Homo-oligomer: A and B are copies of this chain.
Amino acid sequence: MSADSNLHIDPARLWGSLMELARPEFGGTPDGGMRRVALSAWDGAGRDRFRTWCAAAGLGVRIDPIGNIFARYEGADPARAPVLVGSHLDTQPTGGRFDGVLGVLAGLEMLRTLAEAGVRPDAPIELVCWTDEEGARFGRGLIGSGVWAGELALAAAEALTDRDGISVAAALEAIGYRGHSAPGPLPDAYFELHIEQGPVLEDAGLRIGVVTGAQAQAWFEAVITGREAHAGTTPPAARQDALVGAGRIVDLVDRMMRARGQDGRGTVGRLEVRPNSPNTIPGEVRFSVEFRHPSDDEIARLAAQFPREAGFIARDAGLRLDIAPRHRIAAQPFDPACIALVEQAAAGLGLPARRMISGAGHDAISVARAGVPVAMIFTPCRGGLSHNPAESITPEEAAQGCQVLMNAVLARATTGPAGTAREP
């Protein structure tokens, strides 16, 4: 055990900060939800409050050109690569109070605890607030971590525009978060605490999810075309009903998912009917399709099988089907040593935990793609509900996740980068 094993975070202070950032001036809504969309005035206000807290905790803050905020807690050996922790402060337009925010404020609570106790780990610890994880405004998410990781060019990110034609660059300027800090060396490791956004932990009665990686994904956009015609006058043999074909393809996606057991995901989330009039046979239906699975091979099979089988369904119904692959994301395994540290931290605290895959996208995935050793910690959320004003966790769950985060980070920061134990 390290010298810091008896350090305890302050659950009330953590909860207080969470509730503070949920106030109306930071995008809180009367239904208990949030609308702190990336680079909005509410996001600016939230970031400002976060920086004030960082300054009060004695942390040095720098801001990079895409608006990522880094707060540094110095290590005993400032030359060592820092251990990075963090998440995001932006929310969905009708989002909740914990998605993202928990990871940032748990990191802050950890650094407040270390500062108060005067504990100085060997490696520096940096806390990051990534810009626009949610993707609710500029057409794509993971903007800050994507630029940082080199997956997205800065100029391309700056040129993204919202519905009103406002660019990311202009939006950063408007809230004063277009910074100048140059990228430092890669961190030694990255830990991110996040709510699960799914029902697995709650259903299993567990407190901590030890996240071993992210799923592979394949996304499609489909257009199925039939012939618009009068619903009352067109006999069965003359019908080319685009919605009948689309309905069967929605069912196909569900069946393809279920054939792969509980690890698969298959969803048609968006579907639009034209002309969408009760008395007219639909002439066109446009819809999204996404599959996810922990295995790249399984996603490759799904991505090959789906257009073929959907095509048979369309042909049978006399319809034309155009399926365009939209994006394909490889599975991203996290780092075995970092995963082990999280697992050990949970066990050391006596918290029931299990290993699991992340179903959602997270900044941690960008960071891992840059070659940084990464692990994530999940905490339960009520009913698995997220991206929703009713998103809910308990103060105890927040505190437990924060404590696991701190214990894992301290273990990493007081050992060598390769996991070799150092003498305290």
Contacts and interface: CB of A to CB of B under 8 A. Distances in A.
B359 A230 contact: yes
A262 B233 contact: no
Q: Which secondary structure dominates where chain A touches chain B?
A: mixed
Contact of A258 (B236, B271, B281): B236
Interface residues of A, number: 63
A230 to B, nearest CB: 5
Interface string A239-280: 001011011111100100110011111011111110011111
Given A230-B386, A384-B229, A384-B230, A281 B262 contact: no
B268 A243 contact: yes
A233 B384 contact: yes
A387 to B, nearest CB: 7
A141 to B, nearest CB: 10
A288 to B, nearest CB: 4
Nearest to A317: B254
Contacts of A388: 228
A418 interface: no
Contact of A280 (B196, B237, B261, B387): B387
Interface stretch (A23-31, A197-205, A347-355, A398-406): A197-205
Interface string A58-82: 0000000000000000000000000
- Nearest 9 A/B pairs, CB to CB: A198-B233, A233-B359, A247-B250, A247-B247, A232-B359, A278-B288, A231-B267, A269-B278, A235-B262
Interface of A: 196-200, 203, 215, 217, 219, 228-238, 241, 243-244, 246-251, 254, 257-258, 261-265, 267-273, 276-282, 288, 290, 292, 358-361, 384-388
